């Protein structure tokens, strides 16, 4: 999981120590290929390691935050380099979670999973096995024939099982299988779902444990081959090229994994589970490097489906915890995903045999022009100033089966931080049942092409934001607008104000967004103040979209409590990494956030982690077929009294001379025409790409 800058630039003078100079590994450095090889050698020397043992997960075991900070301050030793290694014996299902000292060359601890509290993540080797397993079962073969197709004509999609109290699944590794017909090798099978049929498969015994054979529905026939010119139609011929150039190069500096850009500093991290991780994000203000977030990642994401069909009610994918979506990071080597002066980082991780492998250009970083940063044409002072905004974009794309997800972190000159998910790829389809006998439309899916259904679903991303606003002592306030009734002091009824509620402990920290009161959550430092004597802070602005829509008594609601609220706040604990728990695959529930908040620890003036769930509820459109135009979901963090004033005042005016100039004032003459002209874009300060 080493990040290798493909092109290293000069070291920034004000960057944090990377340890590179001293020859020591920074405690937060991503695992290198050499370290992964060493981990494999350490682990495979253990007696319990067999020929059928696979590496389900290998990741950096990050030292305690306080140890890292103490070391950086010169007040503590360099923490030990450790890795977390999850091992699965494919033949027996024997599963262990191991802590390995890379420095000492030893396994420090091993815990054995009995499966009652979840399984290790799904292996690619298990994915590959299911097609052969089902093909050997005559019931599956018969059921396909009944639907007018054959084993040779279908692709089997291995899907995570969830937890539904089937006794034969207890302690076993189970995948559920749906079939899609593929008419020829280049055909996209998602267009041809074989509905009414699903197989539950034990991947260790290689047997179908249960076959669900319900309705026989026609297999939709129309091609979904969006890459076929015949499906695309006549090419649009009116688009001229847009070329982004940065003749003097990009404005960021890269030193190994560490980046500085404008006033921002951070480390580009990568993990095979979470994908991109930003660490130690800070903003330099008057020469002082002020921390904002210690660690930020998408620690979990859930795609729950709302179709109760007997072959689909269990569709609830945890793409991070069950499938480790970081593994499926796209190589952006083609250069089509980002434009401008790009800096790529490679992602290095372990394969299932414990060998390192590299995804070249897995992470993309570039600058984007972002329109107007600030602007004013003054009526009285004659001042006419425009500044252009730009942002630094750090992103990766991962493909999990049919869907493709991009995760984009944006850093702005004014201290704003945004995280945006981009959703594209291909819908997970069904055969559309059509109208029922009473003439009612099917209530749980859209018809996206003739006879083809797009079942309703949600995409719920969990952002784990290990906050460090100006230091470790933080608190969170829920801030709502508050209407004030007419009365003494508000005789005219125009008043409105704020209602501020301190989130005092974990037990009351589960909160829901409410656009009707512009609800936001303000993270403040309880010890530091700005020049007005008020706490320095950053505010989280959510998008108001539904949380988990499944019934509170459902299996998925128990397994994904994190997704039942938009926000939870917990006391920092290095063991609390993932919102749905460490072992999400077949986890019966009550893990993750549910456990983290159970002791109701105080989060007022503590070292805290903010967990934010965001993402769209998707009623698929015909326009989402056969490939979805990108849909977006995001959240924003903005400084709120963190700075003493606008921190982007000193951004220079664009090179064009008229972007900072004087206008005639109102008192000095007519001036109206000039003032109006200042609002136009023709001069290029407001709308250009420069
Ligand atoms: Co969707």
Q: Tell me, what's the pLDDT at 665? A: 78
pLDDT(100) > 60 = yes
Tokens of 543: 């998008």
Does the structural domain 31-113 have CATH classification 3.20.20.70?
A: no
Q: Tell me, what's the pLDDT at 685? A: 73
Q: Tell me, what's the pLDDT at 5? A: 39
Q: Tell me, what's the pLDDT at 4? A: 39
Compute, in angstroms, the gap from residue 30 CA to the centroid of ligand 1. Answer: 32
Rounded-to-integer distance, Cα 241 and Cα 244, Å: 10
Contact 583, 118 (CB under 8 A): yes
Compute, in angstroms, the gap from residue 303 CA to the centroid of ligand 1. Answer: 8
CATH number at 128-232: 3.10.450.40
Helices (H) and strands (E) in the chain, counts: 8, 34
Q: Tell me, what's the pLDDT at 339? A: 85
DSSP symbol at 505: B
pLDDT(304) > 90 = yes
pLDDT(16) > 50 = no
Residue ranges, CATH 2.70.98.20, the chain: 253-347+357-376+395-431+445-639
Q: Which of 557, 540, 549, 539 is nearest to 640 (CA)?
A: 539
Tens digit of pLDDT for each residue in 346-392? 999 999 999 999 999 999 999 999 999 999 999 999 999 999 999 99
Rounded to the nearest 10°, the torsion over CA 20, 22, 27, 33 is 50
Contact 144, 197 (CB under 8 A): yes
Instruction: Give 148's contacts (C-beta < 8 A, 6+ positions apart).
Output: 219
Bigger pLDDT: 12 vs 163? 163
Least confident of 288-297, 431-440, 565-574: 431-440
Compute, in angstroms, the gap from residue 199 CA to the centroid of ligand 1. Answer: 24
pLDDT(20) > 50 = no
Tokens of 111: 């815990």
Residue ranges, CATH 3.10.450.40, the chain: 31-113, 128-232
Contact 160, 325 (CB under 8 A): no
Compute, in angstroms, the gap from residue 307 CA to the centroid of ligand 1. Answer: 13
- From residue 165, alpha-carbon distances to 162, 225, 585, 590 in Å are 10, 39, 14, 15
Q: Tell me, what's the pLDDT at 144? A: 98
Compute, in angstroms, the gap from residue 426 CA to the centroid of ligand 1. Answer: 9
| Helix, strand or coil, per DSSP, at residue 138 | helix
Compute, in angstroms, the gap from residue 187 CA to the centroid of ligand 1. Answer: 22
Q: What is the pTM of this model?
A: 0.94
Catalytic, out of 344, 403, 405, 412: 403
Rounded-to-integer distance, Cα 553 and Cα 333, Å: 46
Catalytic residue list contains 319: yes
Compute, in angstroms, the gap from residue 631 CA to the centroid of ligand 1. Answer: 8
pLDDT(483) > 70 = yes
Q: Which of 522, 322, 549, 305 is nearest to 427 (CA)?
A: 305
Compute, in angstroms, the gap from residue 442 CA to the centroid of ligand 1. Answer: 18
Catalytic, out of 299, 319, 591, 624: 319
Compute, in angstroms, the gap from residue 214 CA to the centroid of ligand 1. Answer: 25
Catalytic residue list contains 369: no
Q: What number is the average pLDDT over the span 395-407?
A: 97
Contact 572, 606 (CB under 8 A): yes
Tens digit of pLDDT for each residue in 443-475? 999 999 999 999 999 999 999 999 999 999 999
CATH number at 253-347+357-376+395-431+445-639: 2.70.98.20
Q: Tell me, what's the pLDDT at 7? A: 38
Rounded-to-integer distance, Cα 173 and Cα 175, Å: 7
The answer to whether the peptide bond before residue 11 is cis (omega within 30 degrees of 0) is: no
Mean pLDDT computed over every residue of the chain: 93
Tens digit of pLDDT for each residue in 175-217? 999 999 999 999 999 999 999 999 999 999 999 999 999 999 9
* DSSP H helical ranges for 425-484: none
């Amino acid at each position: 999981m080493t990040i290798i800058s493909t092109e290293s630039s000069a070291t920034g003078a004000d960057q944090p120590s990377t340890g590179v100079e001293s020859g020591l590994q920074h405690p937060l450095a991503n695992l290198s290929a050499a370290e992964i090889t060493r981990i494999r050698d350490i682990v495979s020397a253990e007696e319990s390691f067999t020929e059928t043992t696979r590496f389900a997960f290998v990741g950096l075991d990050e030292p305690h935050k306080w140890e890292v900070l103490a070391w950086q301050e010169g007040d503590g030793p360099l923490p030990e380099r450790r890795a977390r290694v999850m091992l699965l014996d494919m033949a027996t299902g024997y599963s262990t979670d191991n802590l390995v000292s890379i420095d000492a060359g030893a396994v420090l601890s091993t815990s054995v999973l009995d499966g009652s509290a979840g399984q290790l993540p799904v292996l690619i080797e298990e994915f590959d096995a299911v097609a052969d397993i089902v093909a050997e079962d005559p019931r599956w073969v018969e059921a396909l024939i009944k639907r007018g197709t054959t084993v040779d004509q279908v692709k089997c999609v291995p899907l995570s099982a969830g937890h539904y109290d089937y006794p034969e699944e207890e302690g076993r590794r189970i995948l559920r299988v749906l079939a899609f017909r593929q008419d020829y090798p280049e055909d996209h099978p998602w267009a041809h779902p074989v509905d009414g049929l699903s197989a539950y498969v034990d991947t260790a015994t290689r047997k179908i444990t249960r076959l669900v054979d319900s309705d026989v529905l026609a297999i939709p026939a129309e091609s979904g081959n969006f890459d076929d010119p015949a499906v695309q139609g006549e090419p649009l011929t009116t688009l001229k090229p847009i070329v982004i150039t940065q003749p003097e190069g990009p404005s960021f500096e890269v030193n190994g994994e560490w980046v500085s850009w404008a006033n921002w500093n951070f480390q580009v991290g990568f993990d095979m589970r979470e994908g991109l991780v930003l660490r130690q994000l800070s903003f330099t203000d008057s020469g002082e490097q002020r921390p904002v977030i210690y660690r930020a990642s998408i620690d979990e994401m859930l795609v729950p489906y709302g179709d109760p069909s007997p072959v689909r009610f269990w569709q609830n994918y945890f793409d991070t915890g069950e499938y480790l979506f970081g593994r499926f990071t796209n190589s952006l080597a083609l250069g089509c995903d980002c434009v401008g002066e790009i800096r790529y980082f490679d992602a290095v991780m372990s394969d299932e045999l414990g060998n390192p492998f590299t995804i070249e250009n897995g992470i993309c970083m570039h600058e984007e022009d972002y329109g107007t940063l600030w602007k004013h044409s003054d009526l009285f002072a004659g001042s006419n100033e425009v500044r252009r905004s730009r942002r630094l974009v750090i992103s990766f794309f991962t493909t999990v089966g049919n869907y493709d997800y991009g995760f984009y972190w944006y850093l702005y000159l004014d201290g704003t931080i945004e995280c945006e998910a981009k959703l594209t790829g291909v819908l997970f389809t069904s055969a559309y049942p059509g109208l029922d006998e009473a003439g009612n439309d099917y209530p749980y899916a859209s018809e996206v092409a003739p006879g083809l259904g797009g079942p309703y679903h949600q995409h719920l991303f969990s952002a784990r934001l290990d906050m460090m606003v100006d230091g470790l002592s933080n608190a969170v306030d829920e801030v709502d607008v508050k209407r004030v009734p007419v009365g003494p002091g508000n005789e005219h009824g125009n008043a409105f104000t704020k209602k501020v509620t301190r989130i005092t402990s974990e037990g009351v920290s589960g909160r829901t967004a409410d656009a009707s009161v512009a609800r936001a959550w303000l993270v403040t430092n309880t010890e530091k103040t700005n020049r007005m004597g008020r706490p320095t802070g950053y505010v989280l602005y959510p998008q108001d979209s539904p949380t988990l829509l499944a019934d509170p008594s459902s299996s998925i609601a128990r397994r994904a409590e994190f997704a039942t609220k938009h926000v939870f706040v917990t006391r920092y604990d290095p063991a609390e990494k993932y919102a749905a728990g460490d072992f999400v695959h077949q986890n019966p529930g009550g893990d993750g956030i549910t456990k983290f908040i159970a002791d109701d620890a105080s989060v007022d003036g503590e070292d805290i982690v903010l967990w934010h769930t965001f993402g769209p509820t998707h009623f698929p459109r015909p326009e989402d077929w056969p490939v979805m135009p990108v849909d977006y979901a995001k959240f924003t963090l903005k400084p709120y009294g963190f700075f003493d004033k606008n921190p982007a005042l000193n951004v220079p005016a664009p090179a064009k001379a008229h972007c900072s100039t004087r206008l005639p004032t109102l008192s000095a003459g007519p001036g109206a025409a000039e003032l109006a002209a200042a609002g136009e874009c023709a001069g290029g300060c407001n709308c250009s790409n420069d």
